[in-house]
Amino acid sequence: MVQIRKKRMTKDQKSLLLYWETRAVDHAGLVLPDHMNEDDFDQACQWNDSGFLTFRRRRIVEISEASKETHWVRFSSYAWTDVHRLRRERGIRNECKDD
C-alpha cells in the first residue's frame, strides 16, 4: 500500500526523483548508480518500502559487461503525479520572460 507523503520533498529528494524520471522515460528505467550517493540509496529503500516506486538491482545475467546500469526504477501512479508536478514547476520557474 502506498503511503501518501504529508510533507514537502527536500531538494535532494526532488533531484533524485527528477533524475529517475529522465531514466524512466529515456532509458527504460535503467539507473546508473554512479550518479547516486548513499543518501539516495537510503531514500530509494524508503520509497520502495512504502510502494511509492519500485527500485531494484538488475539480475547479473541482465547486465552486459560494458553496462553500468545495474539498477532499475518503476514509478507508481503517485510518483508519476509528483514528478510531473516537479517537472512543471521547474519548467515554469525557468521560462523565458518577456520584458
Residue 52 has phi, psi (to 5 degrees) of -60, -35
| Grid coordinates belonging to 44 | 530509494
Domains in the chain: boundaries: 11-91
**Whole-structure pTM value:** 0.79
Distance CA 26, CA 28 (A): 6
pLDDT tens by residue, 63-90: 666 567 778 899 999 999 999 999 998 8
Distance CA 8, CA 14 (A): 10
| Grid coordinates belonging to 10 | 527536500
Q: What is the CATH number assigned to the segment(s) 11-91?
A: 1.10.10
pLDDT tens by residue, 11-32: 999 999 999 999 999 998 998 8
Distance CA 43, CA 58 (A): 18
Distance CA 53, CA 23 (A): 14
